[in-house]
Amino acid sequence: MEATEPRAAAFFDLDKTLMQGSSAFQFARAVREAGLMTRRQLASAAYADMRFRVRGATDADSEELRDRIASSLEGIRVRDLERLGVRVLTRILPKLYPRMLTIAYDHQDAGRPVYIVTAAAQGLADVLANVLSFDGAVGSALSEIEDGVYTGRATGAFLYRDAKAVAVAALAEEHGFDLQASYAYSDSSSDLPMLGVVGHPVVVNPDAELTRMAREQGWEILRLDPLRRRLVMAAGLTAAAAAGGAAAAVVASRRSGAGGPPAIQSRRGKEDPGRRRKAWPRRA
């Protein structure tokens, strides 16, 4: 009797892994467009998103982001938020990395179901998984709900750090996946617990700590975020421009230090003897 291959799956983080930047910010923009968020709240979300894309997220950043999202929902009807699903998707879909979708679909074609595992809202994760034809998603609860209205108080499971590993293990137990034959993709060192429970971890746009760990462990590294590359390129161009400006300043300084350009100096420093006027004796 032939041995069958173990049943495996592939688990994908969302922010900075499947997509550029933060899904929470795209969610906030849609909420703002619907008049359910102030400009100040949106500006705060924009700053957090830019910082997240450039340097990654710390534990404190992620907890703060969760609390900010929860508090911003205070007084909003659940139904109103559900109606924003299309707006949110129109912002997130253009941010998806085509290469990551190809990787996910290759897993499916190889018989490995694919799941989104994210700290983003469960509802958003479900909708996105459905649109992308993934096999499922696990996300976070955001805010308490009373009488169909969000209270603004964070509640429920927040899928971050160890909680993601627990969610992946639960999926494996439910569906009979062999985690050692499975794959996981993430950008952040906070997802090391999730990456550590599978046999094939892959890091995508990794932060500094995850880059170090991936190199030590020999994990595959994918770098896809154009923003980081543009910032690095801009920094290089700025340095080159500064160096060029400094060189020009040195040349100009050398020319002006002796009293002006050489051609002018030569004319001022030496008079033409042929043009010198004769000194005639004065009349008595």
**Domain locations along the chain:** 10-224, 229-270
Q: How far is CA 72 from the centre of its chain?
A: 22
pLDDT tens string for the chain (284 positions)?
Answer: 445 678 999 999 999 999 998 887 677 777 777 666 655 655 555 555 555 444 545 556 566 667 777 777 788 888 888 888 888 888 899 999 999 999 999 999 999 999 999 988 888 899 999 999 999 999 988 789 999 998 988 887 788 889 899 999 999 999 999 999 999 999 999 899 999 999 999 999 998 999 999 999 999 999 996 655 454 445 444 444 444 544 444 444 444 444 444 443 433 444 444 444 444 444 44
Neighbours of 21 (CB within 10 A): 17
CA distance 274 to 25: 80
Q: Which amino acid is at 279?
A: A
| Secondary structure E strands in the chain | 10-12, 114-121, 136-140, 143-146, 149-154, 183-186, 200-204, 220-222
pTM of model > 0.85: no
Question: Token digits for 257?
Answer: 């230090």
CATH class name, domain 10-224? alpha beta
Tokens read off for 84: 């924003």
Structure tokens at 264: 């002018």
| Annotated active-site residue in 15, 187, 191, 207 | 15
Cα separation of the two ends of the chain: 138
Reply yes or no on whether 135 is catalytic: no
126 is catalytic: no
The one-character DSSP state at 278 is P
From 13, 191, 207, 225, the catalytic residue? 13
